[in-house]
Chain A
Amino acid sequence: MAEALVSLAVLLAGLAFLLALWRFLAGPTAADRVVAFDVMTVIGISFIVILALLEGRGIYLDAALVYALLSFLGVIAVARYLERGY
């Protein structure tokens, strides 16, 4: 039962990733793409957690930890570029 639900979760996360990817490819401005990029990183964290569950290895969570703490740096770097911060 739980297995089937987790598989369904993978499919839903993949669908969300696909929607965000569509926004990334469609644009229209760079800022829209940055939003889509941010969303995809967070979906990536979910992917990593689900993978850890599927494989049964808790050590995979460390990668999710790194993304959770560092993914906003990329967004801030782009945002500061857009507003001419450096």
Chain B
Amino acid sequence: MILTAMTLFLCAAMIGAALFAVLGRSLPIAILAAGLVSLVASILFLVMAAPDVAMTEAAIGSGLTTFLFFFVLGRVRRGEND
């Protein structure tokens, strides 16, 4: 019961974040929203009794993906300032 409520809530948050990631105007914010999708997905995997998958998503989504995107974005921004 409480699990179902939690799932519904998390799914709604996830769809909102995904829409934000795709339709949002600014690119850094879109990347952050994609990170949020990954966070919520990780909790959802845990709700669905998949701790291995949740842990993979945690290890990868928390730092590495965000950094890769922002690194390339930073280099592009530097190129535009030159």
Binding site for B on A (CB under 8 A): 7, 10, 14, 17-18, 21, 24-25, 27, 30, 33-34, 37, 40-41, 44, 47-48, 51, 54-55, 57, 59-60, 62-63, 66-67, 70-71, 73-74, 77-78, 80-81, 84, 86
Taking a contact as CB atoms under 8 Å apart, the answer to whether B62 and A73 are in contact is yes
Nearest A residue (CB) for B35: A74
CA distance A37 to B77 in the complex (A): 23
Scan B40-82; emit 1 where CB is below 8 A from any A CB, else 0.
0011001101010011001100110011001101100110000
Nearest A residue (CB) for B68: A77
Does more than half of chain B's interface fall in helix, strand or loop, or is it mixed? helix
Taking a contact as CB atoms under 8 Å apart, the answer to whether B32 and A33 are in contact is yes
Count residues on chain B whose CB falls below 8 Å from chain A CBs.
37
B4 to chain A, nearest CB (A): 12
A73 to chain B, nearest CB (A): 3
Taking a contact as CB atoms under 8 Å apart, the answer to whether A21 and B13 are in contact is yes
Taking a contact as CB atoms under 8 Å apart, the answer to whether A47 and B66 are in contact is no
Instruction: Give the contacting residue for B62; candidates A17, A27, A62, A70; CB below 8 A.
Output: A70
Nearest B residue (CB) for A7: B2
Residues of A within 8 A of B29 (CB): 27, 30, 33
Instruction: Give the contacting residue for A51; candidates B5, B13, B46; CB below 8 A.
Output: B46
Taking a contact as CB atoms under 8 Å apart, the answer to whether B42 and A44 are in contact is yes
Taking a contact as CB atoms under 8 Å apart, the answer to whether B13 and A17 are in contact is yes
